């Protein structure tokens, strides 16, 4: 089959099936090879997250490993002001409930191509990115914004992995202050609950009405603790009664005698009902 003589016109975007626009990516101005990015407007209506507005979010595929969040933000800033950039290993919904680790201790990132969600300040930036000419590649590494790769990148990552003791100590002190504050607030709350749920001499519990819209709780932690202590005392008293083996045997004999007596009484009652013809088992 002979190749088609038609070529993409210059200064025109290249759109492929699926609605993706192809953007050429070049590492430096003197690079011979080019990389391809595939961009599309983010239109997942089932996602109700304000972090990815439908009219201002651009979905990007095939982002190379040497493009960090800062690099991607700088590349797409030529189409308009970028509000946020999110890089992920796979497409998916926004997860804001993930545990946030310390900035000094980060999990190891997977090396490979990623997908990105770029949120612009204005919706016109989406149109500008989709209409970018295919023949005008985006340059990653420039004199104003150099990007390190290879051994230089590894050395930089290794150097940045060291934690300064002063910064770490400040973070630990801040964490402990916040922890102590939370413990004090919890102790104060328990103290107030104990005061509100005071138990009088007769064993009654005072039920206080809480804030508007909240249900009153008849038992507090202090009241539950006192009840548990009473049950433990009863159990210990019962254990002391049957401390010796002969006491335990006598208790068992008395229990068996009571069961036999009750059984004989039930037999007499059943016989009396039969005699009166009032017994209907079925």
CA distances from 61 to 9, 35, 118, 135, 247 (A): 24, 12, 11, 19, 81
Report the pLDDT value the prediction gives residue 3, as an integer from 0 to 100.
Answer: 42
Distance (Å, whole) CA 67 – CA 87: 10
Q: What is the pLDDT of residues 1-54, one digit of tens each?
A: 344 444 444 577 888 888 888 998 888 888 888 888 999 988 876 666 678 888
Q: CA torsion, points 13, 14, 15, 16, in degrees to nearest 10?
A: -170
Cross-strand partners of 45: none
Q: What does the pLDDT read at residue 158? A: 79
pLDDT tens sequence across 182-209: 999 998 888 887 776 665 444 555 555 5
Domain residue extents for the chain? 14-94+101-148, 242-282
List beta partners, residue 21.
Answer: 15, 39
Q: Are strands 57-63 and 20-26 parallel, antiparallel or unpaired?
A: unpaired
Q: What is the pLDDT of residue 234?
A: 77
Structure tokens at 196: 């509100």
107-132 average pLDDT score: 85
**For 149-193, what is each residue's pLDDT tens digit?**
778 777 877 787 777 888 888 888 888 899 899 999 998 888 887
DSSP annotation of 79 reads: G
How many other C-beta atoms lie within 10 A of the C-beta of residue 65? 13
Domain 14-94+101-148, second-level architecture? 2-Layer Sandwich (3.30)
pTM: 0.52
> Tens digits of per-residue pLDDT, 55-84?
888 999 989 888 888 889 998 998 989 999
């Amino acid at each position: 089959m002979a190749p088609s003589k038609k070529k993409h016109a210059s200064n025109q975007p290249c759109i492929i099936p699926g609605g993706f626009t192809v953007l050429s990516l070049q590492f430096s101005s003197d690079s011979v090879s080019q990389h391809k990015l595939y961009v599309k407007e983010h239109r997942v209506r089932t996602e109700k997250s304000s972090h990815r507005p439908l009219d201002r979010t651009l979905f990007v595929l095939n982002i190379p490993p040497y493009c960090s969040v800062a690099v991607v933000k700088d590349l797409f800033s030529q189409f308009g002001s970028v509000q946020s950039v999110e890089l992920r290993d796979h497409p998916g919904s926004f997860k804001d409930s993930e545990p946030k680790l310390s900035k000094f201790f980060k999990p190891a990132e997977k090396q490979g191509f990623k997908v990105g969600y770029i949120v612009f300040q204005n919706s016109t930036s989406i149109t500008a990115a989709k209409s970018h000419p295919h023949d005008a590649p985006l340059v990653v590494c420039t004199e104003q914004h150099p990007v390190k790769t290879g051994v230089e990148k590894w050395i930089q990552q290794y150097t940045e992995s060291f934690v300064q003791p002063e910064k770490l100590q400040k973070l630990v002190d801040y964490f402990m202050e916040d922890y102590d504050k939370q413990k004090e607030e919890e102790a104060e709350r328990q103290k107030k609950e104990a005061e509100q749920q005071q138990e009088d001499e007769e064993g009654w519990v005072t039920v206080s009405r809480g804030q508007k819209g909240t249900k009153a709780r008849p038992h507090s932690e202090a009241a539950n603790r006192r009840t548990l202590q009473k049950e433990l005392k009863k159990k210990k008293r019962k254990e002391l009664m049957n401390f010796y083996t002969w006491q335990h045997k006598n208790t068992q004999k008395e229990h068996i005698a009571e069961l036999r007596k009750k059984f004989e009484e039930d037999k007499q009652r059943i016989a009396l009902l039969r005699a009166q013809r009032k017994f209907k088992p079925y």
